Amino acid sequence: MKEFELIKHFFTKQAVKRKDVVLGIGDDCAVLSPIENQNIVVTTDTLVAGVHFPFDTSPRAIGHKAVAVNLSDIAAMGAKPSWLSLAITLPNIDEAWLIEFCEGVFELCEFYNVELIGGDTTQGPLSITITAQGLTPEGSYLSRSGAKSGDWLYVTGELGDAALALQQITGKVDIEPQFIDIIKNKLDYPKPRVLAGQTLREYASSAIDLSDGLIADLGHICQASNVGANIVLDALPLSNIMRDSLLTDDAITLALSGGDDYELLFTVNEDNKVGMETAMSHAGTPVTCIGQLNASQTISTTLNNKPVPINTAGFEHFSE
């Protein structure tokens, strides 16, 4: 099977056909017809085998995660995902692998009404690059730079389970057998907080998705907004599996630096707190207040109302 046969056979058989896609897969470019008075948000993420997922990860999970991490970025901007392009590098053409991979891609696309509109295929070590685009009302989007001193710091969902799964896979921790599939599902099939992001657009002053770890990603907000923050470690939302599997200090460390959570970290001013919590409850998204911003331009942590030092950092692609 040659490149264009591969594209036609596997990547044109999607259920989603959006009205704003004038011309999709098959030409040199796609042609889109965006809605008037809307901004387009664009993001690109690459997943490399052995770096972003273990080599033995199922192809369906790889397809799902490749889409999910991009939709998580769209969610962090408060936008509605619309289109994506896929560039995939394959060691060889394995039809069974591609069928399962496409299932993972198209399941998530269908759920969020996102159409695959193009991309590229090449031969080499396995990697997947997706560019996703979304729409938001003109001038109404979230960013990392709107936070103010005094704003409250919130996170959706629970933290650290995906990192715990990776530690279990690499033999660093032992997990009770009945919990392994649960946490591995968090690692392999993250759920982008798309509806939560759109809801937060009316309330949050800044937002970011948690991909590299809470400390690292909070640092991006602090730097962009010229603020500091204090994290209340007692308040971190940890699953019962995390609490039962690790000592408290180890669980906190994973929650702060583990990465792969793909939850939303966001800030809200005092006036918007109640409205935000009510709206997020109606959206079915659990949120937890984990601290507050300040003018220090540094990140501090407290435990039992006492300052404690930070001895951890998030994921870095080019760390020395």
Q: 300 a known binding residue?
A: no
Q: 211 a known binding residue?
A: yes
DSSP symbols for 197-266:
HHHHTTT-SEEEE-SS-HHHHHHHHHHHHT-EEEEEGGG----HHHHHHS-HHHHHHHHHH------EEE
Q: 106 a known binding residue?
A: no
Q: 28 a known binding residue?
A: yes
Q: 43 a known binding residue?
A: yes
Q: 201 a known binding residue?
A: no
CA distance 197 to 34: 20
| Phi, psi for residue 214 in degrees, rounded to 5 | -60, -45
Which residues is 219 bridged to in the sheet? none
Phi-psi region of 209 (alpha: psi -120 to 50; beta: other; left: phi over 0): beta
CA distance 174 to 170: 10
What kind and span of H or E run contains 115?
A: strand 115-123
Q: 260 a known binding residue?
A: yes
Q: 212 a known binding residue?
A: yes
Classify residue 270 by its DSSP letter.
G
Q: 217 a known binding residue?
A: no
Q: Which residues are annotated as a binding site for Mg(2+)?
A: 28, 43-45, 73, 120, 209, 212
Q: Which residues are annotated as a binding site for substrate?
A: 52, 260, 315
Residues at the binding site for ATP are 119-120, 144, 211
Binding residues: 28, 43-45, 52, 73, 119-120, 144, 209, 211-212, 260, 315
